[in-house]
Amino acid sequence: MEEVLTLDGIILRPQALPVRPNWEKIFGCSAPLVLEIGIGNGEFLVWLAEQNPAVNCVGVEIDRDYLLKARNRVKSADLRNVRLVPMEGSKALSRLFAPETLTALYLNFPDPWHKERHKERRLVNEAFAWLLASRLVNKGQFLMVTDYEPYAQEAIAAFTACPAYEPLWETPLRTELSGYYHTKYARKWSELGRSFFYIGFRKVRTVELPEWVLRTYPLASLRGDEIMPHVLLQTSQPTDWQTLWKSMPKGLLWQQGSDVVNVKDCYLGDNCIIADLVVTEGRLMQRFFASIHAHREGIMVKVHDASHPDFTQGVHRAIALLALTVKKFLPNAKLHHHTCDGRTWREAVEYLSEVNSPESTCTPN
């Protein structure tokens, strides 16, 4: 597993991490596994790892400057039980941890997104509570601290609504928690006289993730052995790549609620077209390139070799839609075979048959 490690073996490279990586091999030992989402400069995680040397600690952070500061703290403390990942919190929880593997999750002063129109960006909601329940071991704990009481109450409501939990204390909310490390934000808010709100829950029963949670976090259902979607179109005549490129759509290719497949642009190459795609599913957005290129049988449509999206249903859908769109512009083309998810393929066929033409939702180049 050394090939996935960079920067002194502390920060992991997300592109090299498989779905549900073997954390025992990454750390080199078997130990309880805890996660902190949004580690900031890493002082809490370093404190946690020092206090619990027999526990493996994972921290995720999307801010590069904070991540490097945290790496330096871990290195200075000479800790062997800490690994850092540059990844968004819900994506990390969905993708990197198998069911019932986490002993605890810590969340210190998450962004409250104060404005009403931004509330949906908050990390903690009912879907998150269900997702975490699937990742925690029995008796595993969730601990969150915030200075924003509306967010605290929202988090309590979300965890109370999930039958997997019970409060960690007599009540799920406390304004003081002896022995809990005060981060720089806690010290700053304390100097300003602000109150803290500690939220704690313990998992007490196993629950099956509802379909609506899996739609919110599509990475949660991945196993790690998903097949890369590709479509092979058989053609009996040479392909006019210039004409095909000019016919390719740009813009919204598919939409169902907030889930979309969007063609940002298409680029013409030698006997190929590269499509820049954005696929949004639930709270996951993936941007990647798809290749439409010459094949001995005709034309192959697949994820470009330089791109590494997770092969969710949305990615399967994008490849299916792109291939069916290409087929529409090539009357002589016939479907040879595809590896797209069966249900997703049928949905793509039905969707395109319901619209008059791709131009009804997309603009040609």
Question: 193 versus 43: which is more confidently predicted?
Answer: 43
- Say yes or no to pLDDT of 206 above 70: yes
Rounded mean pLDDT, 220-227: 93
Rounded mean pLDDT, 178-192: 84
Question: 331 versus 291: which is more confidently predicted?
Answer: 291
Rounded mean pLDDT, 19-48: 96
Buried b (16+ CB within 10 A) or exposed e, 269-287: eeebbbbbbebbbbbbebe
The token pair that represents 59 in the structure block: 């921290």
Backbone Cα Rg of the chain: 23
For residue 83, which of 145, 146, 21 has the smallest C-alpha distance? Answer: 21
- The residue type at 167: P
> What pLDDT is stored for residue 101 in this prediction?
97
Question: 117 versus 294: which is more confidently predicted?
Answer: 294
Question: Tens digits of per-residue pLDDT, 310-358?
Answer: 999 999 999 999 999 999 999 889 999 999 999 999 999 998 887 644 4
Q: Are strands 249-256 and 259-269 parallel, antiparallel or unpaired?
A: antiparallel
Element housing 64 (H / E): helix 64-76
Tell me the pLDDT band of 363, cut-offs 50, 70 and 90. low
Rounded mean pLDDT, 171-184: 92
> What pLDDT is stored for residue 353 in this prediction?
85
pTM score: 0.90
> What pLDDT is stored for residue 47 in this prediction?
97
Tell me the pLDDT band of 1, cut-offs 50, 70 and 90. very low
Task: Report DSSP letters for 183-239, one per residue.
Answer: -HHHHHHHHTT---EEEEEEE-S--PPPHHHHHHSGGGG--S-PPPPEEEEE-SS--
Q: What phi, psi does 67 have (nearest 5°)?
A: -60, -40
Portions of the chain given CATH number 3.40.50.150: 2-221
- Say yes or no to pLDDT of 7 above 70: no
Q: How many residues does the chain have?
A: 365
Q: In what order do the strands lie in the sheet with 284-295?
A: 334-338, 230-234, 298-303, 284-295, 272-281, 259-269, 249-256, 362-364
Question: How many secondary structure helices (H) and strands (E) does the chain include?
Answer: 12, 18
Element housing 327 (H / E): helix 313-329
Q: Rounded to whole angstroms, what are the CA distances from 54 to 44, 110, 172, 227, 288?
A: 17, 27, 27, 37, 39
Tell me the pLDDT band of 364, cut-offs 50, 70 and 90. low
Superfamily of domain 2-221: Vaccinia Virus protein VP39 (3.40.50.150)
> What pLDDT is stored for residue 194 in this prediction?
80
Task: Report DSSP letters for 10-24, one per residue.
Answer: HEE-GGGPPSS--HH
- Residue 173 is given by DSSP the state E
Share the mean pLDDT of the chain: 92
Tell me the pLDDT band of 4, cut-offs 50, 70 and 90. low
**Cα gap 86→106, rounded to integer Å:** 17
- Say yes or no to pLDDT of 35 above 60: yes
> What pLDDT is stored for residue 361 in this prediction?
47
> What pLDDT is stored for residue 6 in this prediction?
61
For residue 184, which of 83, 330, 38, 77 has the smallest C-alpha distance? Answer: 38
From the list 8, 111, 240, 265, the catalytic residue is 111
Active site residue 111: yes
